[in-house]
Structure 1
Amino acid sequence: MSFDLASRLASRRAEDLYRLRPLLDSPQGPEVVVDGQRLLAFCSNDYLGLASHPEVIRALREGAERWGVGGGASHLVIGHSAPHHQLEEALAAFTRRPRALLFSTGYMANLAVVTALIGRGDTVLQDRLNHASLLDAGLLSGARFSRYLHNDTASLAARLDKAEGDTLVISDGVFSMEGDLADLPGLSAAARARGAWLMVDDAHGFGVLGAGGGGCVEHFALGLEEVPVLVGTLGKAFGTAGAFVAGSEELIETLIQFARPYIYTTSQPPAVACATLKSLQLLRDEGWRRQHLRNLIVRFRRGAQELGLTLMDSPTPIQPLLVGDSGRAMRLSARLRERGLLVGAIRPPTVPAGTARLRITLTAAHDEAQVDRLLDGLALAWRELGDD
């Protein structure tokens, strides 16, 4: 008996679902070099343009000179350096929560929280469109797992009525492939009415939403009681790498004691924490980045509407253009690339069957002329493909 890997790969190619890794040969930014071609990119999650900011780069360099390159060990052995601790304190203050805990990746943070909080005999309820890391965490927890209809509090309430044991409700703050916001006030009210906790992964909300960049919880003016578990990633608007969980003293201590992905993982390089401390400062102090980004979003959506393009309902930098057929989405992406525009085609299984799309992302590093160039390219590509 052997694994028929060749057939699996051939099937994925035939269904227009085969994935390729673009080779980036330049720093992150609006203009990049990918596979040897200079392109104007609209597919990065570097929402505030901080990944290549000179002050962040300087902080990373100075951090490496002071603290070395590797973390050396897990946080519980000898890998918890002063920059890690300073960043946790800064993130706790930023989120207005008692404590925060650093993780190496967002995927690991979600696995850690869910598997530490619930297990067999408990219940986990998730939005159908949650990120894969959240869904995987729910399955691995061993708890009774159910998915409610997207952003539907009535659907959630019906499942909460059947919940057993400790119950954890989990939602993205901003849905990464749709760009829409979770109804956090509604989800929180439904969860609290039935004694459940709400966990929010706000990977795509931090830095972008809220007057101070505090994400969905700041946008909706929610606190620790409404959202007891708050997760964020540092590789998007923060422009660096890693993730964090913010919450109560008891939550963070529970994760330190019981979260296996935290206990048994080497800490991130302390120099990355130094860089993130600087990017957090820029994120908070330079509100013009958020305002410029909001202006670009309005400009793009208005232009797309004038062209008759079907955008999904998103007030965020994630602006998905619904296409439907995977092959057509790939052809549209290829036509745009011929015109020097890099836009990713998102297909199943990342999104539901029949909902392939171009996932357009805007950043504060883009300017109005670049957004207009994207609109011109979309208009031509759409016209050229017609009804094929």
Structure 2
Amino acid sequence: MEWLNALDDDAAARHAAGLRRELRPRGAAIDLAGNDYLGLSRHPEVLAAAAGALAEFGLGATGSRLVRGTTAVHEALETGLADLLGAESALVYSSGYLANLGAVRALVRDGTLVVSDAHNHASIVDGCRLACAGRAGRAGAATVVAPHADPAAVRDILAAHPGRPAVVVTESVFSVDGDLAPLAELHAVARAHGALLLVDDAHALGVLGPRGAGGVAAAGLAGEPDVVVTATLSKSLGAAGGVVAGPRQLHRLLVDTGRTFIYDTALPPAVAAGALAALRLLAGGDALRAELHARTARAVARLRAEGLEVSAPDGGVVSVAAPSPDEAFAWAAACRERGVAVGCFRPPSTPDGRARLRLTVGVGVPAEDFDHALDIIIKERP
């Protein structure tokens, strides 16, 4: 049929450009691809908490919290997240992706200008599109993409639209290169122009800040009334789900009107219970964070010593440039065949169009395995 032929043509074009993607068995590789930074996904206390809730509540949530009812586990998790992040309140979602969609949509009103960093995650990009475009968006709302990590450019964009409601959106630790946004400077610019600052703290939660409270806390912005934080529970917490944290009025708005909360089946109680146990461990995990940063520095030094182009990460993401999408794909495949799992990032996942291997440093990997994985990555370079 014609539409299937068109799909085949599109797939062939992606293949020719080195942009095909494959589902494959997870296997028993040394994991430098997943985001379990602190190794909590298999911690005995986390598994025990999840198992207890699984026995009590069953496998799934069976509906949204507004329809089926909330649980004490969800509420305890939200209280704990709000406390760690220094926010008045927090609302848990079934994924970090949905949390970002919901947060952006909630903060955009008629006529709002959204200023989005050029390296922002796809969930933020999609949130901006949904909030600002088409009949489902807000009338007169628009998104302007700002140069990466450039407060002066953000200032100029806001200054060109005086009196207009605005939201500045950024990641804290960026998901591709692992660099940290200049959050204090961005907040100062946003506040000077009456704008809100929305920060996706996904890759900083558990990694940066006091008690692992994230990049916003590390910048001294926790609890500021014009700052909203989102994060995923699937990285340092080793679980699944997402959170939006901020003033209590925002929590009320999200529960009343947020489509990605109202119409989505809730995070399973067993996952919430595991995340809550991980949250308590994370807050006391200074030694784990120190080991994470030491390993990250060791990886960067070793890879650069071999002449590889490596990012200067502030968290646990190490980005290694590849010559082309095809070579990145082949490099990652060769590592996998040698027992090392790494991320392979190619357009459109890379904001600058350059292909990379992305290594995520996790302290759950034994130190000798981590160093062996670096040897393999170096040996299998294109």
Given the two structures, how large is their TM-score scaled by the length of structure 1? 0.92
Inter-partner Cα distance in structure 2 for 1:125 and 1:241: 28
Inter-partner Cα distance in structure 2 for 1:247 and 1:353: 31
**What's 1:234 paired with?**
233
Closer, same or farther in 2 for the Cα pair 1:82/1:324, shift >3 Å?
A: same
Shift of 1:226: 6.9
Shift of 1:22: 2.4
What secondary structure does 1:116 align onto?
helix
Closer, same or farther in 2 for the Cα pair 1:162/1:75, shift >3 Å?
A: farther
| Cα distance per residue 1:276-304 (max 9 Å; x no partner) | 11111111123211111111112112212
| Cα distance per residue 1:150-197 (max 9 Å; x no partner) | 001111111112336321110011110110011101110110000000
**What's 1:20 paired with?**
22
Q: Which amino acid aligns with 2:152?
A: A
Runs of 4 or more, structure 1, over 3 Å off, are none
Q: Which amino acid aligns with 1:73?
A: G
Among 71, 74, 80, the alignment partner of 1:84 is: 74
**What's 1:27 paired with?**
none
Shift of 1:315: 2.4
Note if contact 2:31-2:365 (Cα within 8 Å) is conserved in structure 1: no
**What's 1:29 paired with?**
none
Closer, same or farther in 2 for the Cα pair 1:288/1:328, shift >3 Å?
A: same
Note if contact 2:232-2:241 (Cα within 8 Å) is conserved in structure 1: yes
Matches within 5 A, 1:1-388: 2-3=2-3, 4-24=6-26, 33=27, 38-142=28-132, 143-163=141-161, 165-225=164-224, 228-352=227-351, 354-382=353-381, 385=382
**What's 1:28 paired with?**
none
Inter-partner Cα distance in structure 1 for 2:108 and 2:232: 22
Inter-partner Cα distance in structure 2 for 1:275 and 1:225: 29
**Segment drifting more, 353-362 vs 45-54:** 353-362
Note if contact 1:60-1:272 (Cα within 8 Å) is conserved in structure 2: yes
Inter-partner Cα distance in structure 1 for 2:179 and 2:63: 39
Note if contact 1:128-1:150 (Cα within 8 Å) is conserved in structure 2: yes
| Cα distance per residue 1:222-279 (max 9 Å; x no partner) | 2222752101110110011101111111111111112111111221111211111111
What's the RMSD between the two structures over aligned residues? 1.6
Given the two structures, how large is their TM-score scaled by the length of structure 2? 0.93
Inter-partner Cα distance in structure 1 for 2:77 and 2:370: 35
**Segment drifting more, 336-345 vs 52-61:** 336-345
What secondary structure does 2:210 align onto?
coil
Structure 1's unaligned 5+ residue stretches are 25-32
Closer, same or farther in 2 for the Cα pair 1:352/1:267, shift >3 Å?
A: closer
- How many residue pairs end up in the alignment? 371
What secondary structure does 1:212 align onto?
helix
Q: Which amino acid aligns with 2:17?
A: E
- Which structure has more relative contact order (CA 8 Å, sep 6+)? It is 2
| Cα distance per residue 1:301-347 (max 9 Å; x no partner) | 22122212110121221100012411121222223233222222211
Shift of 1:354: 4.5
What secondary structure does 1:343 align onto?
strand
